[in-house]
Each structure stands twice: as structure tokens, then as C-alpha cells.
Amino acid sequence: MQAALILETGKIFIGEGFGAGGEVWGEVVFNTGMTGYQEVLTDPSYVGQIVCMTYPLIGNYGINSLDNQSQKIQVQGFIVKEAARNPNHWQMEKNLSRALAQAGVVGIKGIDTRALTRLIREHGVLRGAITTDVLQDLSALANRLQDWEPPQDVVAKVSTEEVYTLDPIGDAGIHSSAGTTGTTGIVGTDGTAQPLHVVVMDFGIKDNILRAMREKGFCLTVVPYNTPAETILSLEPDGIFLSNGPGDPKVVQVAVETIKTLLNERPVFGICLGHQLLTLALGGDTYKLKFGHRGGNQPVQDLRSQKVTITSQNHGYAVEAESLADVPLRVTHRNLNDRTVEGVEHTELPVFSVQYHPEAGPGPSDSLYLFDQFAARMQQRRAQHAS
């Protein structure tokens, strides 16, 4: 089955279709990960996007039910140079093509993904379409793409619709001696360690983030992105977590207003979209990157310790450094590739955020310490209110 990738520039790539048939439109972006394609496919931050994998061989260990980052495949379309025909792994349940077909996601393989990546780097993120109807007028389709606008309300599509709770996994971090605090818990009046309670504002959260916090011993209450501040505070959390998610942060104005209220009430930790929303709530600004950061190999330096970590990232927007001059935020992390802002902290409040993914799925696990820093801020607040 032939397939075509059409770009708004008029460039057309002819390849072979795999997965589902049909036609999809979206923003064409690239991811530089050598592994982790299943995590990419199921990451809610990719809603509305057609993802090109720069590594040439994708699918060689198949698909399983353990590595999903959400309940379904989220990408609009998928582009690879070569899709493994006979994947092999002891956890494999299906191959890549079958997984895409079952999810109704159109894929194209056999095109020059290197040339496509160079085009995106030259022009920036491009509107594009994948179609298995190669007999239609593809040039006319390219012209129509120029006037097409991607949907803006993408956070609403991926956020939870109902509140739900998650307990800590095992006894991670909540054991402590009488009268002392543990890694992520504190001793209650009955002498037992009480886990820290975190309300998670869900803008499109990945399962690995929830798992990482539960493994730290946090008790989580996950709420929809548009939950009012009063409702969140009524849950009596020790801290607020602002999750990752798709799209332009300025579109999610309802969350920005909620965060403004929460900042003075509890410790707050944000990542990715949550980092951008926190910055907007404090008066900073954001902008769209030319082609974004997507992959597991982004070097980031902590400006306080000078330590460099390799991070997993997936975002198309960033915090404008110049906009922080008159707001109560200091830059804590920088991307060593392009010097973009990768982390901020409040000058007075226990509030901080990073642009990258410390839970690392896919990617390195160098940054899990950030969850410990969040726990320390919550422990300090709880101890102050207990005294």
C-alpha cells in the first residue's frame, strides 16, 4: 500500500503505508530518540502531531502493555525510515504496524527521514498530511494545508474528566523513626509515617510521572486541568504538581488563573507545560520554538551546582528568559544546546519548575532528585504547620 507525506511547503514524500489506512493532518515534528518509540506514541503531549523518528530502525522490540504512557496511542500520524518486520523481545505482545492499525493511526515508512528532519530544522514545524490515497491531487492537498490551523484546545482532549486517587507503591520512602521525617513522609500522632499528599493538575500527564511520584511514597489525587483553586485546596494537599501536556500554554488561561491562587498556599512543582504555565502565572512569557526539543539526549546544566544532566524532553514552547527580569523567578537550569530556560524557582516561595522530564520515560534518570526536592519543601511546610 503506497502512502504519501505532503508538507505545506509543497514537498511530497512517497513511501509505503503501514498501520491504518486513510488520511490525517497535523503538525510534523521529529524525535531524536533511538529507543522509546512506544512511550512517544502514547505520550499525550503529542496529541495533534505527526511524529518523525530520526533513528532509522523503529519497532525492533515490538509493543507491550507495560510501557504505555496513557490509555491509547496519542500521535496523529507516525513516520519512520524502516519499521522492523520481525521484532523480538520477551515482553512483546504485538508489532508496531499492528498496534497502529488497531489504534486507527496512519503511518508511513520508507521515506528519507533525514531529509525531512533537515526541512523541519530549516523551516520550523510544518503542517503536513499523511494519506494512503496517492491518486488524488497531492499538490492541491499541499495548498489546502497552508490555510489549515491545528486545533488549540488540545489539553481538554487529554486531561482526566474525573478526579481519581493513587496510593504510594509499596513502602517507598514513608518509613521513618519516631519524631523524624522520612524521604516523602512524616510521623503522625499515632506514631506511623504519613505519606505526603499531592494534588496533580492533569494537563496530559504521562503514566511514568505518576509512577515516579508513587515510588517516592506520595499519595496522589489527580484532578482535571480546569479544577478551581478552591476545590484543590479543599482536598488539603501538602503540595501541588503541574503536569506536562500538549500545545500552547497561553491557550490554557483557566489553569494560569488557578495557579496564581495556589502559589501562595502550597509548595508547587511543575514540569514541561506545567513549567510554562507557572511562569505565565507569575508574569513571565513563553514563545514557540522553531522546531522544539523532542528526544532523550538534551544536556541541561543546573546553574546552582554547575552539574550537567542528560534529559528527556518533549515540548514545542519555551519560557522567554528576558521576560523574567521583573518577576519573582530566577533561572536555575539552562539547555546547553541553545541556552533556552530549562528551570526556574521562586525567589521567596517554595515554588519551582523544570522544562524537561525528570521521570524519564523514555530517557535517562539523572533528574529524579527533583521529586526529593519537592518532598523536602512539602515536609518543611507540614512541619511548620504542625508546630
Asked if 217 and 174 touch (Cβ cutoff 8 Å), the reply is yes
**What's the grid cell of residue 234?**
479543599
Cα 283 off chain centre by:
23
Cα 77 from Cα 79, distance rounded (Å): 7
Number of Cβ within 10 Å of residue 321's Cβ equals: 15
Cα 318 from Cα 310, distance rounded (Å): 18
Peptide bond into 358 cis (omega under 30): no
DSSP state of 324: G
DSSP state of 362: S
Active centre residues (catalytic): 272, 357, 359
Cα 263 from Cα 318, distance rounded (Å): 21
Peptide bond into 362 cis (omega under 30): yes
